[in-house]
Amino acid sequence: MFNNVDDARNIALGNTGIALDAPDYINSKNPAAMTAISTRNVILNVSGILKYNTISSNLGSDKRLSSNFTNFSAALRISKNAFVGISMQPATSSDYKISSAIPIEGTTSEYPVTYEGSGGISNWGISLGYKINDNWSVGGKVKNNFGTIVRKETITTTSEVEISRNIRYTGFSYNLGTQFKKDFTENFQLTLGVSLISEVNWFQKGKFHTPKIKIIPTVLSQNFLRMILRFL
């Protein structure tokens, strides 16, 4: 699930606002907009979210209430025309638990199965902005995306089998932006912004955990063993 990690002003504008700037505001969409920060300001931005999720499929459904912070960022002017910022954002999250029952091939029996997921992808970034003149500004941002997704399946019958896979993701992306600002009159101002965001080139490394089998003294049926092998 993708998290809405933008600043509240960008979210209120439908995740737009590339040309939006202010002396006390960090525009997460366009690093060039940092050049509007005043000399005496150090901007800190912290936001969070409270959400209620319902996940359903032919395997079952799951309802959960969760909360998390969605954005931390800071920016300041380091010289007359140069600006720097940092950010930390949880971009995606995986949090579900679904219980279901699956038929055993060749029989009329069913075994209960629980599917669980946890983890997510976060990113941290460094932004630089430079004010060329009173009208033009440019900026760039580099982000390191990282995180681990855990998927677990538990089969419960006279025995309990737990199968889990951990996949770690890493990847870099960048954002290049520019902004043009012109005051025509006291009451009329034109601001234009352009932002280019690259795709993330993902690298992943997975780890498969050997199935944990907890056996209640009994004999495993051949069909049950066949079902376990299907999950591996």
Pick from 201, 192, 202: nearest CA to 30: 192
Pick from 88, 155, 146: nearest CA to 119: 146
Q: Is residue 86 over pLDDT 90?
A: yes
Cα separation of 69 and 3, whole Å? Answer: 10
Do residues 25 and 133 touch, judged by C-beta distance below 8 A? no
Place of tokens 């010289």: 79
| pLDDT score recorded for residue 218 | 41
Q: Which of the listed ranges 116-120, 155-159, 217-221 does the model predict with the highest average pLDDT?
A: 116-120
Minimum mean pLDDT among 8-17, 25-34, 177-186: which range?
8-17
Which residues lie below 8 Å from residue 40, measured CB to CB, with a gap of 6+? none
**Confidence at 128, pLDDT banded by 50, 70, 90:** very high
| Average pLDDT of span 102-122 | 80
Q: Is residue 56 over pLDDT 80?
A: no
Pick from 225, 215, 99: nearest CA to 160: 215
| pLDDT score recorded for residue 215 | 46
Q: Is residue 168 over pLDDT 80?
A: yes
Task: Answer yes or no: pTM beyond 0.85.
Answer: no
Place of tokens 């737990």: 162
**Confidence at 211, pLDDT banded by 50, 70, 90:** low
Q: Please give the share of the chain, as a percent, with pLDDT higher than 90.
A: 19
Minimum mean pLDDT among 7-11, 31-35, 61-65, 73-77: which range?
7-11
